[in-house]
Chain A
Amino acid sequence: AQSVTQPDIHITVSEGASLELRCNYSYGATPYLFWYVQSPGQGLQLLLKYFSGDTLVQGIKGFEAEFKRSQSSFNLRKPSVHWSDAAEYFCAVVIYGGSQGNLIFGKGTKLSVKP
């Protein structure tokens, strides 16, 4: 079955440090890939997306992600974390079943930022 795996449930980084959140997918073809962020009590906000082309995509708030086909990965990175980045991050893929596409989410990685 197709799936999205975020192996880290909770990560803590110091403010100003670099960040990498991991995402792996299991799918036979190249899916459409997304990263969303959710602040407490809020809905999800799109950070960035990959459909095709350049495998390094830039998003909002200084985030970027790199699609690596050989590793079935789409890891999210930020060179310098700010305290306001503390939130939960979700990787998602659009999986095609028949003629329809379903947006499938990983379990999320909660990011804590220490001063």
Chain B
Amino acid sequence: ETGVTQTPRHLVMGMTNKKSLKCEQHLGHNAMYWYKQSAKKPLELMFVYNFKEQTENNSVPSRFSPECPNSSHLFLHLHTLQPEDSALYLCASSVGRTDEAFFGQGTRLTVV
């Protein structure tokens, strides 16, 4: 148990659906991240929030929309996804940007 909780653990959605992934941490961390993990590809950093402000968007398509309402919660809103978006989406948090990241268990997303 890392202290970072992601829900749901598994999600199947159609290409026209809208869904949201949730991440929660009560570790007092200031930075939160979304990563995408696909088969045979390295972990891809998608978004970074530091003190609730988005500081990084790694050329992620607009069909992924992050939201960080407070320092403990991070959402990833999904709409009109493509099958190639199927992956494990990992949330992480850290005290600061140079500290080790604590990861949630991930949401396994399947787009059909």
Contact = CB atoms under 8 A, between A and B. Distances in A.
B2 A43 contact: yes
A103 B95 CA distance: 13
Given A44-B90, A45-B2, A100-B56, A107 B105 contact: no
A43 B95 CA distance: 18
B43 A105 contact: yes
Which 3 A-B pairs give the minimum distances between C-beta atoms?
A: A43-B103, A105-B43, A101-B97
Given A43-B6, A94-B98, A102-B48, 17 more contacts: A4-B42, A36-B103, A42-B105, A43-B2, A43-B4, A43-B92, A43-B105, A44-B90, A45-B2, A46-B100, A100-B48, A100-B50, A100-B56, A100-B97, A101-B97, A102-B56, A105-B42
B90 A101 contact: no
Contacts of A34: 100
B101 A103 contact: yes
A46 B48 contact: no
B45 A49 contact: no
B110 to A, nearest CB: 14
Interface residue tally of chain B, by bracket?
20 to 34
A contacts with B: majority SS:
strand
Contacts of A36: 103
Interface residue tally of chain A, by bracket?
20 to 34
B33 interface: yes
Contacts of A104: 45
A103 B45 CA distance: 8
A53 interface: no
A43 B103 CA distance: 6
Contacts of A41: 105-106, 108
A63 interface: no
A108 to B, nearest CB: 7
B43 A90 contact: yes
A33 B31 CA distance: 18
A108 B42 CA distance: 7
B48 A44 contact: no
B90 A43 contact: yes
